[in-house]
Amino acid sequence: MNDLANSPSDLIPTLDIGPYLAGEPDALRRLSDELRDAMENVGFYILVNHGISMSQIEETLDAIKRFHALPLETKTALKGNEHNIGYMAVNSSVSRASQVDAEGTNRPNFVEAFFVKRDLPPDHPDVRANKLYRPANLWPAPETLPGFRETVVSYCRAMEQLAQKMLPAYALALDLPEDFFSEPFAEATYSFRMSHYPPSELGDADQFGVAAHTDSSFLTMLPQGDLPGLQVKLPGHDWHLVDAPHGSIVVNSGDLMRRWTNHRFLSTPHRAINNNPGKDRYAIPFFFDAHVDYPMACLPTCSTEDNPARYKPITYTDYMKWFSRKNYDHVREKVGTEADDPGVPKTQSVRD
């Protein structure tokens, strides 16, 4: 490995959100300055004193372990659909839709996962209209997995509240008014992925839990509560395992953030492994985005005459149609394939 002197623990900054949450004077401005530096130079940070209790993280992980312990036929009865909710079996996803030309991109990921989005009621207008990415979630029967739905919904609510509290810091970090993101994230979109990585020796040689990729999201929050397994490739460095404190949250920006900021904020490659022989690993990343219909045009502080907008405006819905077709078998089976990213002009490479 072409490892440099520092480890990721040294290179990934730690942001303490506690003073801001406590209302300390000038804490938001300090946080936004640290956030700007992290997003422009690293693409990752470790969030501490965030208010999500370790007991809630562990309770959520326990619920996910109970789900993945169910018989395969019970899980496949909840097979994922075009909304990207439901169960995704091992070896049914491939990391294709990102800015990374990763090694092994045609090899399936050795992971199974269960996805939910905002828990909308069956009589919600968007549910009745079968609006894309605004569905009723699929859930195991209560008698099959008592308390599972309540635990997951409570966790999603807590994570969304934390993400919403971070938005003023992101706005200030981008030299925008503090309330700039209030409209785009009114009833924000989120996706909660409950992942299980079987022991790696059960998979093929050199198969990753999730191969190298960049996320699609505005931001991703990954609490640290189970075995480590997140590796990052920071600018100028080789792959490293992230060693973050138990109970902290590792946060990164994704490709929608990168394109919304006209490449001002990074979307840093990462991958998932399970190098723990004989042990199962579980992870609970929370992906946070703008409302499905909000048109994300280049932010006003992120383009100049010499640095014009690289992308046409795009909504979460249009971007995720492309992303889901490229990555997930269960979506591709239902809606077919489309090669082009609808938000990028034909002459513009997403890697430029």
Domain annotation covers residue 323: yes
Q: How far is CA 50 from the centre of its chain?
A: 18
Q: Parallel, antiparallel, or unpaired for β 281-283 and 189-197?
A: antiparallel
- Assess if residue 270 is contained within a domain: yes
Going residue by residue through the chain (352 aa), what tens digit of pLDDT does each one get?
A: 334 344 555 789 999 999 999 999 999 999 999 999 999 999 999 999 999 999 999 999 999 999 999 999 999 999 999 999 999 998 777 765 456 654 445 678 889 999 999 999 999 999 999 999 999 999 999 999 999 999 999 999 999 999 999 999 999 999 999 999 999 999 999 999 999 999 876 756 677 888 899 999 999 999 999 899 999 999 889 999 999 999 999 999 999 999 999 999 999 999 998 888 899 999 999 999 999 999 999 999 999 999 999 999 999 999 998 777 765 555 555 555 454 555 554 333 333 3
Q: Are 283 and 231 in contact (CB under 8 A)?
A: no
Does the residue 73 lie in any domain?
A: yes
Residue 230 counted as domain residue: yes
Separation between Cα atoms, residue 266 and residue 47, nearest integer Å: 17
Distance of CA 102 to the CA centre of its chain: 18
Q: Which two tokens stand for residue 336?
A: 């077919």
CATH number at residue 134: 2.60.120.330
Are the CB atoms for 95 and 60 separated by under 8 Å?
A: no
207 within domain boundaries: yes
- Give Cα 39 to chain centroid, integer Å: 15
Q: Which of 267, 241, 132 is nearest to 191 (CA)?
A: 132
- 293 found inside a domain: yes
Rounded CA gap, 154 and 219, in Å? 20
- Tell me which residue range forms the domain holding 244: 8-335
What is the Cα–Cα distance from 178 to 131, expressed in whole angstroms? Answer: 31
Residues 6 or more apart whose CB falls under 8 angstroms from that of 288 comprise: 159, 160, 163, 188, 189, 190, 217, 218, 219, 220, 221
What DSSP letter does each residue of 306-340 carry, written as one string? Answer: SS---S--B-HHHHHHHHHHHHBHHHHHHH----S
| Residue 343 resides in a domain | no
- Rounded distance between C-alpha atoms, residue 174 and residue 188, angstroms: 19
Quick check: is 199 in a domain? yes
Dihedral in degrees, nearest 10, Cα atoms 244, 250, 255, 257:
-130
Domain count, the chain: 1
